[in-house]
Amino acid sequence: MKVTDVQCVVLPREKAPPGAIGMDLVIVRVLTDEGIEGNCFAWGGNDHGGATAQLIDTVVKPQVVGEDPHDTEKIWQKMRIRDRFGGHIPRYLYGPVDVALWDICAKAANLPLYKYLGAHADKIPAYASSGYFPNPEQYAEDALKAKERGYTAYKLHPPSMIERGSAAAKDVKACQAVRRAVGDDMVLMSDPVAAYNLQQATWVGRELEKLSFLWLEEPLWDQHIEAYVELARTLDIAICGTEWGGDGLSGFATTAEYIVRHAVDIVRSDVSWKGGITGLKKTAALAEAFGLQCEIHMTLYSMLDLANLHVACAIPNCQYLELCAGGGCSFGLLEPPRIDREGYVHAPQRPGLGVEIDWKTINACLG
């Protein structure tokens, strides 16, 4: 089997239906000479869907066309060399094509992707990941709605996500409001998106310890590794990081430094920013070797999150799948990942990624 073409369809955000994510969507199609097609969504951002498609066409496609889609490691390493000698490759660029290659391989084997990867489980609990709200009470209301839908865990993106570190005290109030609202039995996390300095992160972390939060995620900028080392040493709450640090194909190597320096207690990775399924599996195996969890972060695009689900069911060191609390990341698939009444997401059982793209809606949007 050989790859014959890599194509992209771009849906601009202004053409997307109400309730969609509000960013450009790029649909990647990898075609083969045996008629098996692999698909994935790619990061388009606010106005960069066309640029993503152009880069895939000019940078990624030449490395993939003519290759056997089963040679995922060979192709991944070709992209790594292309990155080293050909200039900086954006973190979101190669992962979706790698996912599409794995989709082809699993379809050819007539297996669900997680089975093709080597299954560890067929379902995983999910946590509801909040958006930004200006008031603590809104987080509490959002968390209660998530609990009513069946979620057993909830993560805040507290006010500092937008308002930055000056809102640290407001963040703690939001976390306190959520804990009061949902009670002691719901697992809680907080992700301020690199909003704090070391002093703020230390104070917030101690407050979250009082509230029995599971982890504090990405409290500092990734390049402040010395501050991460000190924070992880000081606090009892788990520090979760490496989501952003290290672009694409080099991300797992940057994660290694965080691990050996004891800068984080939990590693973050995904198929979009860490070089696809190949890169995510490398990161997860690295974390496992050191006895750490690799918690997979949400991509905001439903088909990428579906790929995350398959990998989460094929590794032993991922506890949760992250999903949008409000469901706004489900656009584009006929059957996007959803939780059951016990808070689990089940891996699709059809071959490959196991779901169909909602071409009818997408084509209608494109006009």
CATH assignment at residue 42? 3.30.390.10
Q: How far apart are CA 40 and CA 35, in angstroms?
A: 17
Is 357 within a domain? no
Q: Are residues 100 and 142 in the same domain?
A: no
Is 300 within a domain? yes
Tokens 């093709």 correspond to what residue?
116
Concatenating the DSSP letter of every residue in 201-257 gives HHHHHHHHHHTT-SEEE--S-TT-HHHHHHHHHH-SSEEEE-SSSS-GGGHHHHHHH
Q: Are residues 154 and 103 in the same domain?
A: no
User: Is residue 162 classed exposed, middle or buried when 0-12, 13-18 and 19+ CB atoms within 10 A define those classes?
Assistant: middle
Domain final residue pick, 53, 81, 110: 110
Q: Are residues 220 and 318 in the same domain?
A: yes
Q: Are residues 90 and 157 in the same domain?
A: no
Q: Are residues 132 and 88 in the same domain?
A: no
For residue 266, give the CATH number of its domain: 3.20.20.120
Q: Are residues 194 and 61 in the same domain?
A: no
Q: What is the pLDDT along the chain (367 residues), one digit of tens a residue?
A: 999 999 999 999 999 888 788 889 999 999 999 999 999 999 887 778 999 999 999 999 999 999 999 999 999 999 888 877 766 677 788 899 999 999 999 999 999 999 999 999 999 999 999 999 999 999 999 999 999 999 999 999 999 999 987 899 999 999 999 999 999 999 999 999 999 999 999 999 999 999 999 999 999 998 899 999 999 999 999 999 998 865 556 666 789 999 999 999 999 999 998 899 999 999 999 999 999 999 999 999 999 999 999 999 999 999 999 999 987 788 999 999 999 999 999 999 999 999 999 999 999 999 8
The total domain count for the chain is 2
Note down the domain range covering 26: 3-110
Is 199 within a domain? yes
Q: Are residues 128 and 274 in the same domain?
A: yes
Q: Give the phi and the psi of residue 154 in degrees, each rounded to 5.
A: -145, 135
CA triple 277-280-281, angle to 5 deg: 85
Query: Do residues 147 and 325 touch, judged by C-beta distance below 8 A?
Result: no
Across 75-197, the runs of DSSP E, i.e. the strands, are: 123-129, 153-156, 187-190
